Structure 1
Amino acid sequence: MTITKEAFVDLQEKYNKVIKLLEEDSKLDPETEPYLSKYLARQILIGMKANIENLIRTEAADGQDNIKLTAMLGAVYLYLGMVSIDTEEISTGEKHLEKCKETIEKHQEKPEVILITLNMYNQFGILWSQREPGKSKVYLEKAEHLYKKYKAEANVPLDISDLFHANIETYNTETALRNLEKIYTHTLYYLAQIFGAMKEALKSSIYCHITLQRQLQMGDYDPIDWALNAATLSQFFMEQNGFKQAKHHLAASSYILAQYRNELNQITERNEAYDAKMETFKHRSADVARCWAKYGILLLSKSKERLLNHADDIDVNCSMSSDLSKLQITSESSISTEDLQHLDFEGIDVRSYEAQVTDQFILTLEDARKVFINAQQWTTKAQEYYTLDSLASDYIEIVLDQTQLYLNLLFFEDNPENQAKLHKRRVNLLENILDKVNSQYYLHYCRQVWFELGRTYADILDIKTDKLRESDSRPTPQALSKINNLVEKSILHYSNFINSFQDKVTGKLPDKIPEDAEKPFLQAYFHIAALHGRHVTLDKQVQLKNTEASLEHYKFVSDYCDRYGKAKELVAMEYGICKEMVALLPIKIAKLSAS
């Protein structure tokens, strides 16, 4: 017999109340009762389950009504499972999802049930994502294959909300089709996360891109989130040498942000809501600017690495490409060449943003300067938001990026005088940080800066020393003084780095340095040892003092590595030199003492 309209009206009212509780009221729940609305929704769902089961049992429904009631019961179990997962009752959630599966499995491809089925597999994927990613992947791939099969058959689904309508004329086909696509987009998003968790990073990135493309096509996205996700994905592509794809994703990110800015400009009422949106826009625009800067840094760095590895006839001997679509795919790979051919966005024109910087590996100083200038402009833009006064940590990181830009540009510069000038600009940036921040509060960053300054002054020292060595004329006292001054500054900053590990009370260094700092700590000691030998002086007493200081520092590294065997692996080359110097320098000290 046919189910009465009244029965459907009652279920529809309860369903609408559940959706309101889950999608609206739950956002306003107090901190003391974060799941209040979800618990209320669960109580209504339990009542709905009993009503539907009673209808199935007593009304002896058949045909279309039977399938519809089965779908409704499956939907109730689905929501019960989702509520349990959201309220961290995982085992209960799993039981509800299993009941959902059991209820609908004979009808899972029918129009009334397909959306419930796909949602259910997604929820199973979420459920198992933390515990067993492999099992999560199985469920999500079931959803993926089922969606593709359903689409191929060109069937029109019934929306879950329409299941609870008595009047068939009120069914919203457009909404159902849109929700079908939305659920599938979620499937792809979850698969991207699972492939990432399973260390299949490239496959994960492909799914991320497809998710972004679908959101773009459907117009179903938050502009800020979309732009940030596209920019984040670009960082992965550039690390894989996919600079063409990275640039495209950054350009798309900038395009979407520009569109959003235009929308904000159309708002006439400038209230708190507008201010909040504008603040978020500025914040995330600065983040995208930082991603553009990273692009420039990495393009210069990878170009440098490529040239170093292929010094001779690079065009013939180097197969390294900046375009992922040209990546050689092995037969064992889980991705195909076709997957890599479609990592661009349809429906938006981003050519003007792409035109600002190349995606080809750099070969000349002229091209390196273009990339450098572009990246430097982006760091300046990022610093409009990330200032030293408001967000010091981010500001310091941006300055460190700027110093990396100069360091990478240095590789392409052959003129020693220009190299020294670039180093000096790095010094100015780094010393400015030390002048303006409290080393106690920003110790982690100050350590990086001290180490970088030590190395940079040593690099300038190398340039000046080479210049003196190549000159036929006798060095002036001013030139020698400059050499010694560079030595002292390098030692000073390396020493500041080392001393930052001292105990605040005793002033002594720990016997064992934390593992994450062990390598640079020993390298700093090693560099100071070498630097003490680079002072230029005719005073035998000063030479003796410097040589003794060198021995002391070489011996420290040698003894530390002998005491902690793993440290030898961290500084293998330095350790070998230290051993030699510990044996040789006492002889030199003896001669200096005798003279």
Structure 2
Amino acid sequence: MESPLKNIPMDVQLELQDKFEKVSKLLNEESKLDPPNNPYRSKYKAQTILNEMKTLITYHMDDLASDDAERPRIHAMLGSVLLNLGVTSLDVEELSTGEEQLNNCIDTMEEFRLHPLCIIFVLNALNQLGILWSERDDPKRSLELLGLAEQTYKDFKADQQGASKAVSPYDLFSTSDKKDDGEENLEKTHTLTLYYLAQVYGTLGHTLKSALYCHNTLRRQLESKEFDPIDWALNSATLSQFFATHNGFKEARHHLAAAQLILDRHKETLDQQEESTEEKDAKLERLNHRSADVSRCWAKYGLNLLQMSQSRLVRLSNEDAPDGRIPPCVEDGSLTLRNLAVSSLISPDEVENLTFPSLELDVLETCVTDKPANVFEEARPIFLNAKDWLDKAKQYYTMENHASDAVEIMQDTSRLYQSLIFFEDDEDRQSKMHKRRIDILEEALGQLNPQFYLPICRQLWFELAETYTEMFEIKRQKMRSSDEGPTPHSLHKINQLVAKGVQHLNNFIQSLYAKGTKSLPEVIQEELVRPLLLAFFYLGKLYREFIVPDREVQLRNLNNSIDAYKFIVTYCDKHESAKNLMSAELGICREMLELLPLKLRRLSEA
């Protein structure tokens, strides 16, 4: 509670308090009940009262001496009114008026911007202007305003050094003994500043900076205990995906463990609550839904770790570092967030200790490593952990209720097997894992109607073709390295795998036919050009891999192969953008179109 003002009569102060309370009730309570045909009724009423308050305060400001001790409070009172006028104007879509009021709020308190009575209003006004300019698609201006809010908060904390604490809007107008927590209000406002900064940095493409602000927002929410547990967990798990895709596996695991712990605690709280069945079911549904999402993030963590391990080992085997020396960060598998920080013009120290000290996460973190795998024995536990999380996610995301998500989970399961195969030396076990991939993908495909799920079916046809091709390569290599030579069974198996690959590629290609025809359109959708041309590229290869004694069949397969390569070359010659997309494969296609006709002629003349 602030003591009564000398420069404003007590009856006016009481009137201001009464009007402030009416405005608060209109904005916080009654506005939620406004009818659909008059959605801003309460906000317009609040604006009328706020303008009356503005008139009263301005009238009594005119006679204030420049050294009057009450100037900061009276300026803060006017600033509070201007802030509310600005926010309500934005709410009723009067954007220019709202911007003007918010700027007036800041100008009114400029002299006292670091004063405990004014700081909350200054920060809120800067936040609101930052949001406004972000919505106007001017993230740079938004960043300037939000950056100023962040710096103003830091300046206030440094200036106060634990002395006077921020005063809330309620205490500013109240003449009663009831007191609001201004310091808590200040910290909430600053947390919002960090949250908005995270969004703007993300919009500007400063991904690491955005991630750092996201983490700090989450940490402050934890410390203040002001957060929705499900939203918090989902945000933490989502942030983990950024770290995992930038080799920050220690940080990724920590954020996933934090998300899991918060969800577990929330479930315990729900289990203890006595509510109606309908209310509890709704809360449990939301919990189960988001728990499945966090499970999928755990699985993505494992998949990313296996894929990074594979890439690292390939780099090591190629020894592509200068002078044949492998950088230590690759050699020992350490993280590269510090490297990313340097390239992002961020101090490497800022990416250290991205943790939540208030949470005990050791048990959850030890369930899976954050180090890259070097051998199968190290890769397998990562694979099993990720697969367990996918199995948990499947309990919620079923084909009956969430077909698209269920298929994505099955695709991730297939990718896990694919990553594990890299670490497996035994060809028979490799083949078995490819077979498992095929079973998973074909099960998914068999439950989808292409008429309704065509984009997903295209993905599955393509992935199945790739999987059959990889399995064929293993069988062919095994046959070639065998001292006994090919057997009828092995030849049949190879031809069967090749035929399946061809079938799925043709399904993919035919799905792109112009409606009502059996031919492709002249121009393919941009995002489908490379997949289509790759499908023809793989077809050209597979048609040459059939092992058949019948010369007519051989000739037909060679012609099919030539046609596939010819389609790629013709399309690329007509479309320069396609030529750029297929730069690595186009040279091979042209070479094949020189060699295969010669082979075809020799076979025809034999």
Select 2:590's aligned residue among 534, 554, 579. 579
Equivalent in the alignment of 1:38: 43
Q: In structure 1, how many angstroms separate the alpha carbons of the residues matched to 2:603 and 2:75? A: 97
Equivalent in the alignment of 1:526: 537
> 8 Å contact 1:158–1:171 — kept in the other structure?
no
Q: In structure 2, how many angstroms separate the alpha carbons of the residues matched to 1:282 and 1:384? A: 9
Summarize the Cα distance change of 1:419–1:29 in structure 2 as closer, same or farther, 3 Å threshold: farther
Equivalent in the alignment of 2:282: 276
Q: 1:71-470 maps to which residues of 2 (within 5 A)?
A: 71-130=76-135, 131-152=137-158, 153=160, 154=162, 155-167=164-176, 169-172=177-180, 175-311=181-317, 317-320=326-329, 324=335, 327-328=338-339, 334-470=345-481
2:144 maps to amino acid: V
TM-superposed CA distance for 1:221, in Å, is 0.7
Q: 1:60-75 maps to which residues of 2 (within 5 A)?
A: 63-75=68-80
3-state SS in 2 of match to 1:320: helix
3-state SS in 2 of match to 1:110: coil
Deviates more, 1:58-67 or 1:389-398: 58-67
TM-superposed CA distance for 1:251, in Å, is 0.3
Q: In structure 2, how many angstroms separate the alpha carbons of the residues matched to 1:492 and 1:186? A: 54
> 8 Å contact 1:82–1:93 — kept in the other structure?
yes
1:110 maps to amino acid: H
Q: In structure 2, how many angstroms separate the alpha carbons of the residues matched to 1:423 and 1:562? A: 36
1:431 maps to amino acid: E
TM-superposed CA distance for 1:296, in Å, is 0.5
TM-superposed CA distance for 1:547, in Å, is 1.2
RMSD: 2.2
3-state SS in 2 of match to 1:344: coil
Q: In structure 1, how many angstroms separate the alpha carbons of the residues matched to 2:344 and 2:492? A: 61
Q: In structure 2, how many angstroms separate the alpha carbons of the residues matched to 1:31 and 1:442? A: 37
3-state SS in 2 of match to 1:521: helix
1:261 maps to amino acid: K
1:107-132: per-residue Cα shift (whole Å, max 9, x none)? Answer: 22222212111212222222222443
Structure 2 unaligned segments of length 5 or more: list them. 1-5
3-state SS in 2 of match to 1:52: helix
Summarize the Cα distance change of 1:325–1:403 in structure 2 as closer, same or farther, 3 Å threshold: closer
Q: How many percent of aligned residue pairs carry the same amino acid?
A: 45
Equivalent in the alignment of 2:3: none
Deviates more, 1:81-90 or 1:486-495: 81-90
2:97 maps to amino acid: T
1:239-261: per-residue Cα shift (whole Å, max 9, x none)? Answer: 11100000000000001001101
> 8 Å contact 1:22–1:41 — kept in the other structure?
yes
Whether 1:7 aligns to 2:21 is no
Q: In structure 1, how many angstroms separate the alpha carbons of the residues matched to 2:427 and 2:18? A: 79
Summarize the Cα distance change of 1:330–1:224 in structure 2 as closer, same or farther, 3 Å threshold: closer
> 8 Å contact 2:77–2:173 — kept in the other structure?
yes
Q: In structure 1, how many angstroms separate the alpha carbons of the residues matched to 2:106 and 2:100? A: 10
Select 1:495's aligned residue among 500, 503, 506. 506
2:549 maps to amino acid: L
Structure 1 unaligned segments of length 5 or more: list them. none
TM-superposed CA distance for 1:54, in Å, is 3.0
1:306-326: per-residue Cα shift (whole Å, max 9, x none)? Answer: 111111689961433665587
1:180-232: per-residue Cα shift (whole Å, max 9, x none)? Answer: 11111111112222222222211111111111111111111110111111111
1:58-114: per-residue Cα shift (whole Å, max 9, x none)? Answer: 899994544323211111111111122233322111110121122111222222212
Deviates more, 1:349-358 or 1:186-195: 186-195
TM-superposed CA distance for 1:471, in Å, is 1.4
TM-superposed CA distance for 1:574, in Å, is 2.3
TM-superposed CA distance for 1:557, in Å, is 1.3
Deviates more, 1:61-70 or 1:504-513: 61-70
Whether 1:54 aligns to 2:63 is no
Q: In structure 1, how many angstroms separate the alpha carbons of the residues matched to 2:39 and 2:448? A: 40
Shift >6 Å, 4+ stretches: 58-62, 312-316, 329-332
1:311 maps to amino acid: S
Deviates more, 1:29-38 or 1:270-279: 29-38
Q: In structure 1, how many angstroms separate the alpha carbons of the residues matched to 2:115 and 2:386? A: 54
1:105-164: per-residue Cα shift (whole Å, max 9, x none)? Answer: 122222221211121222222222244322222222222222222223222122111111
Whether 1:566 aligns to 2:577 is yes
3-state SS in 2 of match to 1:431: helix
| Paired positions, count | 592
Equivalent in the alignment of 1:472: 483
> 8 Å contact 2:208–2:344 — kept in the other structure?
no
1:303 maps to amino acid: S
Q: In structure 1, how many angstroms separate the alpha carbons of the residues matched to 2:44 and 2:96? A: 16
> 8 Å contact 1:388–1:396 — kept in the other structure?
yes
> 8 Å contact 1:447–1:497 — kept in the other structure?
yes
Summarize the Cα distance change of 1:201–1:326 in structure 2 as closer, same or farther, 3 Å threshold: closer
Summarize the Cα distance change of 1:181–1:323 in structure 2 as closer, same or farther, 3 Å threshold: farther
Summarize the Cα distance change of 1:323–1:234 in structure 2 as closer, same or farther, 3 Å threshold: farther
Q: In structure 2, how many angstroms separate the alpha carbons of the residues matched to 1:329 and 1:468? A: 46
> 8 Å contact 1:121–1:142 — kept in the other structure?
yes
Q: In structure 1, how many angstroms separate the alpha carbons of the residues matched to 2:341 and 2:290? A: 38
Q: In structure 2, how many angstroms separate the alpha carbons of the residues matched to 1:519 and 1:544? A: 28
3-state SS in 2 of match to 1:372: helix
Deviates more, 1:493-502 or 1:94-103: 94-103
